[in-house]
C-alpha cells in the first residue's frame, strides 16, 4: 500500500470538506473493495477520510418507501424485516453477494461504488483504459468470459459487479448525495456511466460528494420481486448472469413488470423495452419468452462470453416464470 | 513502538508515515498502539500484538482464514484497517476458550476431526461461532452457505459442517 494520511470524520460536513479540496483523497467506509484495491496499487489515495462514525446507518420503511442510510451494512439491510417482506429482491440480492464476513463490513453506499472485477483492471502490468486511460484493453484479446455483452464500447467491456444495484435499479431507486454545493438526488439508472471513450469515469459523483443514502419508492411491484443469480459455484461468487424482476399480476394479466440484469452489462442493466412488452399480456410463458428475447436483443457478445446471451434469456424467463407463478 | 511501526509498515524506499493512536480491546484486554494507517487489523494482531491465531491466507478477503469477531460480528481482518477498528472489541480464536477449557464448538471440531492442515481452523472457528449466534443456519445446506466465506481447499468441509451442525442442534452456544 502507498502511504496515506488518515483522519476520522464525525459528521458529513467535515468529511465532505476534507475530501472535496483534494483530488487524491477518498472516503473510507467498509473498506472491503477500497483496501483490497489499495493493496493492489489500483487505487492510491494519499488521504483517507473515515466516515464510519458519521450517523448514516438507519434503515427506515414508511408509506413512501424505503430509506437506507449509506453506511448501513449489507448484512443489516438483508436482515431487516421490512426489507425482507416488502422489498424481497433487495434482501435476496444482498444475501447472494459476497460472504457473511464481507456483508458485515461492506456498506450500501460502498456497494454502489465498488469497482469492476475485470482481472486486467485489478492486475498491474496489463493495459486497462479504466485503470490507466489510453493504455488499451487487454481483455479484448485476453480472457473475457465474464465480461459484458451490453453497454460495451471499444475501450472497455468490464461488467459492473454489484448485485444490489441490479435490484435497486429495477425498483427505481434514487441515490442521495451531499457535496460542497449541497444535496442532490440521482436516479440510480443515471448514477453509473457507460464506458464510452472514458471508462475511468464510472459514476455521476463529483470529488467530495458523499453518498448519504438510497431511497426506494413504494410501489405495487416491489413486494412481488425476486433476484435470480447464476454463477460458476453456488455461493460466494460474482454473477455470470443475474436478473432482478418484479411483477404485478391482476386477473392473470400483467399490470406492471420490472426487469434488470446483472453480470452482463457495463452498468446495472434495466430493460424498459422488455418490461413494456409484458404489460397487458397474460402472465404466461409466451409473454415471458417475448420479454426475455427483447432483454438480450441489443447484446453484442465476443467470442468467450457469447454464452451469456442465451443464459441471460433463460434467466429472465426463469425469474419471471417463478415470480409470476407465486401470484 | 513508533520506530518499529514505521520500519515494518513503511517498507524500503517509502517515507516514514505518521502514526495514529489506536486502542484495540483484544480478547478482553485493552492495547494502546501507535500504528501506520496502512496496518491492517490482521497485521496489528499478529505482528504488533503477537496474537497469531488469525491467519493470513489470501490477504484479499476471499479465504476467511483471517476471520475475527469485531464487536461480536465476524469480519475479514485483512481488509479492515486497524485504525478503523479503534475502540472496538476484537475476539480471535484465542478468546473463544475459557483458559484451557475449550468451548463446545472447539470440542466438536476435535470430535469430528474437522481439520486437515489446520491452517484455516482459527477462521473457521470464529466464523462458526458467529454463525451460531446469528441463528441463521442449522441444516447442512444452510451451514455450507453461511460458512462459504471460509474457503478451505483441503476437503475437510464435511467434518466442519458436521461439527457445526452438532453444536447448533445442542443449542448451547
Q: Which helix (H) or strand (E) holds A81?
A: helix A81-86
- Which helix (DSSP H) or strand (DSSP E) does residue A262 occupy? strand A253-262
State whether residue A105 sits within 8 Å of chain B by CB: yes
Domain for residue B3, yes or no? no
If 0-12 CB within 10 Å is exposed, 13-18 middle and 19+ buried, where does residue A117 land?
middle
Among partner residues A104, A234, A235, which is closest to B75 by beta-carbon distance?
Answer: A104
Residue with cell 517515507: B15
Tell me, yes or no, whether B110 and B90 share the same domain.
no
- Of chain A, the percentage scoring pLDDT greater than 70 comes to 99
| Nearest alpha carbon to residue B61 among A185, A39, A132 | A39
List pLDDT tens digits, range A291-313.
999 999 999 999 999 999 999 99
Examine residue B38 and state whether it is found in any structural domain, yes or no.
yes
Distance from CA of B63 to the nearest CA of A (A): 10
- Same-domain pairing of B50 and B111: no
Q: Assign residue B143 the CATH number of its domain.
A: 1.10.150.120
What pLDDT is recorded for position B10?
37
* CATH, residue B37: 3.10.20.30
Looking at the structure, do residues B80 and B24 belong to the same domain, yes or no? yes
Are the CB atoms for B90 and B42 separated by under 8 Å? no
- Non-local (6+) Cβ contacts of B113 within 8 A are B159
Does residue B136 belong to any structural domain of this protein? Answer: yes
Same domain, B25 and B91: yes
User: From A32, which residue of chain B is nearest by alpha-carbon distance?
Assistant: B79
CA distance A198 to B170: 57
Number of domains in chain B: 2
Sorting pLDDT into bands at 50, 70 and 90, what band is B18? confident
Considering the domain architecture, whether residues B81 and B25 belong to the same structural domain is answered as yes
Q: Do B37 and A31 touch (CB under 8 A)?
A: no
Partner B contacted by A119 (CB < 8 A): no
Q: Which three cell numbers stand for residue A228?
A: 435470480
pLDDT in the model for residue B16: 54
Considering only alpha carbons, which residue of chain A is nearest residue B131? A100
Do B138 and B157 lie in one domain? The reply is yes
Domain ranges of chain A: 225-325
Supply the range of the domain harboring residue B116.
104-170
Q: Which residues of B touch A52 (CB under 8 A)?
A: 84
What's the mean pLDDT when you consider all of chain B? 90
Does residue B7 lie within any of the structural domains? no
In a domain, B133, yes or no: yes
The model's pLDDT over B108-150, given as tens digits with 9 standing for 90+, comes to 999 999 998 999 999 999 999 999 999 999 899 999 999 999 9
Domain topology for A225-325: Enolase-like; domain 1 (3.30.390)
Give the residue from B77, B95, B113 where a domain finishes. Answer: B95
Per-residue cell: A181: 454545493
3-state helix, strand, coil in chain B (%, to 5): 40, 15, 45
Contact A234/B145, CB-based, under 8 Å? yes
CA-closest candidate to residue A166, choices A263, A30, A240: A263
- Whether residues B114 and B158 share a domain: the answer is yes
pLDDT tens-digit series, residues A192-243: 999 999 999 999 999 999 999 999 999 999 999 999 999 999 999 999 999 9
The alpha-carbon gap from A50 to the nearest alpha carbon of chain B, in Å, equals: 7
Closest CB from B38, B74, B151 relative to A100: B74
Short-list A228, A240, A235, A234, CA closest to A305: A240
End of a domain among B45, B77, B95? B95
- pTM for this one? 0.95
Residue at a domain's end among B76, B95, B114: B95
Q: How many Å is the Cα radius of gyration of chain B?
A: 17
Q: Does residue B138 belong to any structural domain of this protein?
A: yes
Amino acid at each position: 500500500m502507498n502511504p496515506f494520511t488518515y483522519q476520522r470524520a464525525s459528521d458529513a460536513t467535515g468529511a465532505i470538506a476534507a475530501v472535496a479540496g483534494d483530488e487524491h483523497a477518498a472516503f473510507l467506509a467498509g473498506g472491503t473493495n477500497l483496501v483490497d484495491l489499495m493493496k493492489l496499487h489500483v487505487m492510491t489515495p494519499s488521504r483517507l477520510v473515515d466516515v464510519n462514525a458519521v450517523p448514516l446507518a438507519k434503515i427506515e420503511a414508511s408509506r413512501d418507501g424505503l430509506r437506507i442510510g449509506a453506511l448501513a451494512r449489507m448484512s443489516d439491510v438483508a436482515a431487516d424485516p421490512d426489507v425482507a417482506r416488502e422489498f424481497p429482491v433487495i434482501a435476496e440480492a444482498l444475501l447472494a453477494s459476497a460472504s457473511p464476513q464481507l456483508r458485515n463490513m461492506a456498506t450500501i453506499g460502498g456497494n454502489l461504488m465498488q469497482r469492476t472485477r475485470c482481472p486486467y483492471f485489478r492486475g498491474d502490468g496489463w493495459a486497462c483504459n479504466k485503470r490507466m486511460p489510453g493504455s488499451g484493453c487487454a481483455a479484448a484479446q485476453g480472457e473475457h468470459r465474464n465480461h459484458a455483452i451490453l453497454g460495451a464500447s471499444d475501450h472497455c467491456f468490464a461488467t459492473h459487479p454489484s448485485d444490489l444495484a441490479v435490484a435497486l435499479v429495477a425498483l427505481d431507486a434514487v441515490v442521495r448525495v451531499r457535496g460542497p454545493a449541497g444535496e442532490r438526488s440521482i436516479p440510480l439508472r443515471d448514477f453509473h456511466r457507460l464506458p464510452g471513450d472514458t471508462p475511468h469515469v464510472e459514476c455521476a459523483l463529483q470529488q467530495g460528494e458523499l453518498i448519504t443514502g438510497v431511497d426506494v419508492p413504494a410501489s405495487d411491484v416491489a413486494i412481488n420481486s425476486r433476484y435470480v443469480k447464476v454463477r460458476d459455484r453456488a455461493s460466494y461468487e460474482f454473477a455470470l448472469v443475474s436478473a432482478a424482476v418484479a411483477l404485478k399480476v391482476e386477473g392473470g394479466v400483467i399490470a406492471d413488470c420490472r426487469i434488470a440484469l446483472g453480470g452482463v452489462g457495463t452498468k446495472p442493466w434495466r430493460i424498459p423495452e422488455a418490461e413494456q412488452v409484458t404489460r397487458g399480456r397474460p402472465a404466461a410463458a409466451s409473454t415471458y419468452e417475448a420479454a426475455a428475447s427483447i432483454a438480450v436483443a441489443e447484446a453484442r457478445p465476443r467470442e468467450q462470453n457469447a454464452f451469456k446471451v442465451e443464459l441471460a434469456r433463460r434467466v429472465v424467463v426463469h425469474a419471471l416464470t417463478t415470480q409470476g407463478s407465486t401470484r | 513502538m513508533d520506530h518499529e511501526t514505521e520500519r515494518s509498515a513503511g517498507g524500503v524506499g517509502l517515507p516514514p508515515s505518521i502514526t495514529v493512536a489506536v486502542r484495540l480491546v483484544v480478547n478482553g484486554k485493552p492495547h494502546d498502539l501507535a500504528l501506520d494507517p496502512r496496518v491492517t487489523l490482521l497485521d496489528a494482531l499478529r505482528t504488533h500484538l503477537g496474537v497469531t491465531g488469525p491467519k493470513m491466507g489470501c490477504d484479499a478477503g476471499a479465504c476467511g482464514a483471517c476471520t475475527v469477531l469485531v464487536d461480536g460480528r465476524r469480519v475479514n481482518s485483512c481488509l479492515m484497517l486497524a485504525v478503523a477498528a479503534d475502540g472496538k472489541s476484537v475476539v480471535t480464536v484465542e478468546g473463544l476458550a475459557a483458559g484451557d477449557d475449550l468451548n463446545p464448538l472447539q470440542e466438536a471440531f476435535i470430535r469430528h476431526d474437522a481439520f486437515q492442515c489446520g491452517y484455516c481452523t482459527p477462521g473457521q472457528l470464529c466464523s462458526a461461532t458467529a454463525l451460531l449466534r446469528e441463528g441463521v443456519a442449522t441444516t447442512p445446506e444452510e451451514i455450507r452457505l453461511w460458512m462459504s466465506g471460509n474457503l478451505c481447499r483441503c476437503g475437510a468441509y464435511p467434518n466442519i459442517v458436521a461439527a457445526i451442525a452438532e453444536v447448533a442442534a445442542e443449542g448451547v452456544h
